[in-house]
Amino acid sequence: MTERDTDAASDIDLVRRAQAEDIDAFCLLAERYARRIYLLAAHYCRNPQDAEDLSQEVWLKAYQAVQTFRFDSSFYTWLRRITINAFLNHRRSSFFRRNGQTMSVQLLQIDSEEQQVFFESSSRSQENIYNKLLFESVVNALAELTPAQRLAFLLRHYEGMTYEEIATAMNCSIGTVKKGVWRAIGKLRARLSPESDAQETLTSLASEY
Amino acid sequence: MHNCKETREIFTELLLDGMDFRSDQAISAELSRCSECRSEFEVLSATLRLTSRLSEAAAPDENYWTGYHSKLRQSLVKAQAESSTSRAKAQRHKDELGPLFEPLRPRAGTSVFARFFKTTVPVPLPLAVAVIAAAALFLSLVIPFAIRAARVQQPNTTTVVRVPVEVPVVQEKPAEKIITRVVYRDRLVVKATTPAKDATRAESTFAKSQKSEGEAMPSSLAGFKPSDEVKLTVIKGGVPNEK
């Protein structure tokens, strides 16, 4: 099988091969969905290192459980369920050891090696710096929420899940999910709206670069 | 009737679903009616668009993913090796202990109870001897104790214990004879003039009657013997033999 054929292979084919303990096939699946899982983890953890650890753990759990995949949903839906469970489990534990050191702080550490790796491609232009500062505001707004509220907003906004799907995945009521999503929107609106002080601060900071 | 709260809820959900509000004519009409809702919609739309765009912009670059996937591959290889080791270990245990439990495995056409009572399990000879010796030792120790305990508990008949009990005897006195007689007396008719005269006349009448009774005992009291207690009923104004 050539590389081109491998790229074109469907998720189902790759999952079947992964179930036959083909690590290459599973790594191809990981390459397809690693960014989405990582970004979810990054917004949830608010720290690049924690996001990497958590997303790696999600992939490891998925590989160990791939034999249980019954093809009654898409692979990503199944993977997202594992991701949500991993997030909720880590919310209960003390996994986030760098909780006080949020992603926004690392974004502004010029000499940080992680930061350079994390945002090397977008650290030169003024627009990207402005984006980074705005992203910092987004992260800070999400940091004011509880982990469950943050996860509900991420799943609703970034993943496009319905309230019913989120409530089922998080094992809570639809009202709780809605409350979390609306609260997140309120926080973001307060921080990013044009009339807010944060926006003015960001604009002035961005103009300095 | 325009309702700002409902309108904002609806367009927020539409924005979260990634829909363009212009595609919904009802919402467009509501927004055209209320300037506050329209401005709120613009702010919220910009906020969510910005959030989505920033999320994409914050993703690490390709160099990062190379290291990420190589690290993931190492973890997967390690996990697979551990899984293979544990599976091989489990298979080895199964191969060693499996024949012992082979007779207990369900087979078609035989009931569970029948299979249970007919099943024989091959046991190593030293183990069987040890089990039988332990059982014999146990029985030889336990049976004498059981017999002794049974003997101690055997006299189970009822014993009668005679204990003299002193019971106080109460001797009742014979009831005293109470003789009740009805004595009739003639009623004295006294005509009262004044209270003082009445008192003296009453005393003189009582003394006269006492005197007359002492002199001549009526025939009705013949043979009467006085006792310690006399119950005397005096009926004033009564007439003998009156019914």
Average pLDDT of chain A is 77
Instruction: Check B51 against A138: CB less than 8 A apart.
Output: yes
Q: Name the residue ranges covered by the structural domains of chain A.
A: 7-97, 104-209
CA distance B172 to B23: 119
Cβ–Cβ of A188/B57 closer than 8 Å? no
**Non-local CB neighbours of A139 within 8 Å, separated by 6+ positions:** A43, A46, A102, A103, A104
Would you call A185 and B44 a contact, using CB atoms and an 8 Å cutoff? yes
Domain ranges of chain B: 4-57, 62-104, 121-151
Q: In Å, how far from its chain's centre is CA B38?
A: 64
Closest residue of chain B to A162, computed from CA coordinates: B17
Q: Which residue has the higher pLDDT, A208 or A54?
A: A54
Q: Quick: pLDDT tens for B159-216.
A: 677 777 777 776 666 656 666 666 666 655 555 445 555 555 555 555 555 555 555 5
- A157's CB contacts (< 8 A; 6+ apart) are A181, A184, B16, B48, B51, B52
Half-sphere exposure of A135 (CA within 13 A, CB side): 28
Highest mean pLDDT among A43-47, A81-85, B38-42, B205-209: A81-85
Out of B54, B61, B79, the one facing A64 most closely (by C-beta) is B79
**B231: nearest Cα among B176, B192, B158:** B176
The whole-number pLDDT of residue B236 equals 66
Q: Class for domain A7-97, per CATH?
A: mainly alpha
Whether A130 contacts chain B with CB within 8 A: no
B80 contacts in chain A (CB < 8 Å)? 21, 23, 63
Architecture of the A104-209 domain:
Orthogonal Bundle (1.10)
pLDDT at A106: 38
Q: Tell me the per-residue pLDDT of B123-157, one tens digit each, with 9 for 90 and over.
A: 889 999 999 999 999 999 999 889 888 887 765 56
A residues 149-208 lying closer than 8 A (beta carbon) to B = 156-158, 160, 181-182, 185, 188-189, 192-194
Mean pLDDT of A28-44: 91
Q: CB B75 to CB A60 under 8 A?
A: yes
Q: How far is CA A191 from the centre of its chain?
A: 20
Record: contact B57-A39, CB cut-off 8 A: no
Q: What is the DSSP string of B151-178?
A: HHT---PPPP----------PPPPPPP-
**B119-140 as b/e, with b when 16 or more CB fall inside 10 Å?**
eeeeeeeeeeeeeeeeeeeeee
**Pick among A14, A60, A159 to test the B interface (most B CBs inside 10 A):** A60
Interface contact B79-A134, CB threshold 8 A: no
Judge: B68–A128 Cβ closer than 8 Å, yes or no. Answer: no
Report the pLDDT value the prediction gives residue A103, as an integer from 0 to 100: 44
